[in-house]
């Protein structure tokens, strides 16, 4: 093992001491520790790792050796995977079919502590939580994730790449793909709500500009039981050197309507 090419040097500081399996797994996932990975593969066996992946439905993933095993590399023994296999593995963890609920929750907790967030989480709103595992070598950058949305939904996204001529530029492009998928998921949810509450006369709900990038789209709520007096139109201001905001005036009753019941002071016409 070469500490110079390992992304985590914490494990090397513990050489000669006893380290828990949990700590090794934590370093392997959150910091891509090559040394921790190799210790764990030696402990359980590469064939057993592959067999476990088969049990989870991943039919093409192959774990043949540890990391930086040049002798095995020279013999043509290389680890490999596919986007579908990684998707199946992440899905199994997310829906608790990869083990007990306690085990899967522990896996998710470690995945959420990932240190490298340059790809899938990069352009997502702060209220989105990503449990993921990254991986990279020269010309390659991968990320497999469970993305948890604020409204309680989640989805699995796997981004794999190869032959990246410009690693940083390629990573940004992959991060933009992640943002596109997120936007689709949010708009898809909004469109389904509009389908359920399709008549704007009966279901006015609340309005919000779809292209408002300053507020997470997940903040939008469709109030299907609202009436015209419940409707709120939002006007938002973007900073601009050519404009100076001098004052803000909100015109309306002192109270407000929340899901039809009036909150605060009432007026005669309410």
Give the domain CATH number at 103.
3.40.710.10
Rounded CA gap, 60 and 97, in Å?
19
Q: Is the predicted pLDDT of residue 71 greater than 90, yes or no?
A: no
CB 36 within 8 A of CB 11: yes
Considering the domain architecture, whether residues 110 and 175 belong to the same structural domain is answered as: yes
Final residue belonging to a domain, choices 56, 80, 104: 80
Q: What is the Cα–Cα distance from 54 to 59, expressed in whole angstroms?
A: 5
CA 133: distance to chain centroid?
Answer: 10
For 167, other C-beta atoms within 10 Å of its C-beta total 14
Structure tokens at 170: 């390629």
What distance in Å separates the CA atoms of residue 124 and residue 251, rounded to the nearest whole number? 34
Helix (H) or strand (E) holding 133: strand 129-137
Average pLDDT for residues 203-214, to the nearest whole number? Answer: 48
Residue 153 shares a structural domain with residue 243: no
- Based on the fold, state whether residues 75 and 3 are members of the same structural domain: yes
Q: Which residue has the higher pLDDT, 119 or 77?
A: 119
In the listed set 196, 225, 251, which residue is the last one of a domain according to the structure?
196
Higher pLDDT, 5 or 20: 20
pLDDT tens, 222-264? 555 555 444 445 455 556 677 677 776 666 555 554 544 545 5
At 244 the pLDDT is 72
Give the residue from 172, 196, 220 where a domain finishes. Answer: 196
Q: Are 254 and 208 members of one domain?
A: yes
- Domain span holding position 173: 83-196
Q: What percent of the chain has pLDDT over 70?
A: 63
**Percent over 90 (pLDDT), the chain:** 49
**What's the domain count of the chain?**
3
Residue 65 pLDDT grade (very low, low, confident, very high; cuts 50, 70, 90): confident
What's the pLDDT tens digit per position in 136-169? 888 999 999 999 998 889 999 999 999 999 999 9
């Amino acid at each position: 093992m070469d500490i110079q090419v390992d992304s985590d040097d914490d494990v090397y500081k513990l050489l000669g001491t006893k380290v828990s399996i949990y700590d090794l797994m934590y370093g392997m996932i959150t910091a891509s520790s090559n040394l921790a990975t190799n210790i764990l593969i030696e402990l359980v066996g590469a064939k057993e790792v592959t067999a476990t992946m088969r049990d989870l439905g991943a039919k093409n993933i192959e774990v043949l050796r540890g990391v930086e095993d040049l002798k095995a590399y020279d013999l043509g023994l290389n680890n490999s995977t596919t986007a579908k296999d990684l998707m199946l593995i992440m899905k199994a963890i997310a829906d608790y079919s990869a083990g007990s609920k306690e085990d899967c929750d522990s896996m998710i907790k470690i995945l959420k502590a990932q240190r490298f967030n340059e790809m899938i989480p990069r352009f997502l709103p702060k209220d989105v939580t990503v449990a993921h595992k990254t991986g990279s070598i020269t010309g390659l950058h991968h990320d497999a994730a469970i993305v948890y949305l604020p409204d309680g939904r989640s989805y699995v996204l796997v981004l794999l790449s190869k032959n990246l001529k410009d690693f940083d530029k390629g990573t940004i492009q992959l991060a933009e793909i992640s943002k596109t998928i997120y936007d689709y998921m949010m708009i898809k949810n909004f469109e389904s709500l509009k389908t359920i509450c399709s008549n704007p006369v009966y279901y006015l709900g609340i309005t919000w500009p779809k292209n408002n990038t300053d507020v997470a789209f997940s903040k939008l709520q469709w109030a299907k039981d609202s009436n015209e007096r419940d409707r709120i139109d939002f006007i938002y201001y973007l900073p601009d050197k050519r404009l100076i905001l001098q004052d803000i005036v909100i015109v309306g009753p002192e109270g407000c309507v929340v899901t039809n019941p009036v909150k605060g002071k009432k007026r005669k016409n309410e």
